[in-house]
Amino acid sequence: MGAVETVIDTIKQMIIDGQLRPGQRLPIEKDLAEQLGVARNTLREAVRALTAMRVLQTRQGDGTYVTSLSPGLLLDGMSFVADLHHGEEAGHFLHMRRLLEPEATALAAPRIPEPDLARLGHLLDEAERLADKDPVDHEALVALDHDFHTLIASHCGNPVLAAVIQNMSGRTVRARIWRGMTEPGAIQRTLAEHRAVYRALLGRDPERARLYAAMHVLGVEESLTGMRSFGGAGGE
């Protein structure tokens, strides 16, 4: 293991041990380098790497701080990983969504507050309005799709599960999905699946919410099987 990797692991361990806490400012570079017994250039490289991981944040003129370390922040890079993969590998991410999203939807059913239920209804109404237009505004549908699923997951009561689901399908993947729905009626069918999930949430019915969420993600998987726009960058 190189010197930079050793420093990265040491700082991580300091956070795990509670020597450094979320929001805490790190010692100045000179002092921390001496404490760790490394050159300042080595420390800078380690800090840059931890900043890219969202573990640290450098504030110009103010020093380096430990971030909030929230699951949503630390798992944010997963959406980029999902965006990079195509074809069968991208299908693996959808498979993970099918395993996790139904459970999160069921957990959200008794928890989601009335104002956010109303917000879900507005998102669906707007998506259905856009779907009836010609040509279809895929970018707007992608944004609404993202907001719909993110809002539901945010009320599952488990911030780690919510963060994983939110990042399981990045915006590029979602765009590829919506643009790939060239089969007649595919968009309307997908929105109908959204509506079924919404009705289950309105009814505060966890089992129906779980079932309809699973059917929805499975429907997306089946619709995209073999679609060239999902299998390569050409659909972007």
Q: ω into residue 135 within 30 of 0, thus cis?
A: yes
Question: Which residue ranges does the chain devote to CATH 1.20.120.530?
Answer: 74-235
pLDDT, residue 74, reads 79
For the question of whether the overall pTM of this predicted structure is more than 0.75, the answer is no
What are the residues whose beta carbons fall under 8 Å from the beta carbon of 83, sequence distance 6 or more? Answer: 170, 171, 172, 173
Residue ranges of the chain with per-residue pLDDT less than 50 = 228-236
pLDDT, residue 183, reads 67
Specify the length of the chain in residues: 236
CA atoms of 233 and 83, how far apart (whole Å): 10
- Of the candidates 105, 114, 102, which has an alpha carbon nearest to the alpha carbon of residue 157? 105
Question: Which residue ranges does the chain devote to CATH 1.10.10.10?
Answer: 3-68
CA atoms of 31 and 69, how far apart (whole Å): 24
pLDDT, residue 195, reads 97
pLDDT, residue 55, reads 93
Identify the helix (H) or strand (E) that includes residue 50. Answer: helix 40-52
CA atoms of 77 and 64, how far apart (whole Å): 21
Domain 74-235 is found in CATH 1.20.120.530: yes
Domain 3-68 is found in CATH 3.90.660.10: no
pLDDT, residue 77, reads 65
